[in-house]
Amino acid sequence: MKKKIVLAEDDQDPQLMLTLILRNAGYEVTNLVGGTPIVNNQCVVPDLFIADIKMAVIDGLALCKYLKINKCTKNVPIILISGCDEYRTRALAVGADCFLSKPIVIDELLEVVEQLIARSQLFVTTG
């Protein structure tokens, strides 16, 4: 069964690139333009969230905070991404499991995705 990833990105080019990379790696990807559909419970709970930090309406930092306090999503890993490396500390402070700088390094992305999903599955089965 394919692992599910929800990608919240309001810039079409990075969204298409990330989707292609993740789907080619065997993941089922749901694309959202921004984080509003997540906050409005308009998507299924995935195995992993990936969100850009700079998005209109709800930025990735606020989205991450929301996901970490929500009972249904608090244990789902979150990767926050940004072209501004200075967001790294803030991303980790709000509960992101990983921060990746743009431009995304494909091998790094796939390694982190695999590790976070495997770690969260271990958490689900043990405890």
- The pLDDT tens digits of the residues spanning 19-56 come to 999 999 999 999 999 999 999 988 889 999 999 999 98
Residue 80: CATH number of its domain? 3.40.50.2300
Q: Tell me how far apart the alpha carbons of residues 76 and 100 are, in angstroms, rounded to a whole number.
A: 17
Residue 95 in this model has a pLDDT that exceeds 60:
yes
User: Is the pTM above the cut of 0.75?
Assistant: yes
Structure tokens at 32: 């959202």
Q: Tell me how far apart the alpha carbons of residues 108 and 115 are, in angstroms, rounded to a whole number.
A: 11
Portion of the chain with pLDDT greater than 90, in percent: 87
Structure tokens at 60: 């990735």
Nearest to 67 by CA among 88, 97, 111, 87: 97
Find the domain containing 93 and state its range: 4-126
| pLDDT reported for residue 41 | 85
Count of structural domains, the chain = 1
Q: Tell me how far apart the alpha carbons of residues 13 and 123 are, in angstroms, rounded to a whole number.
A: 34
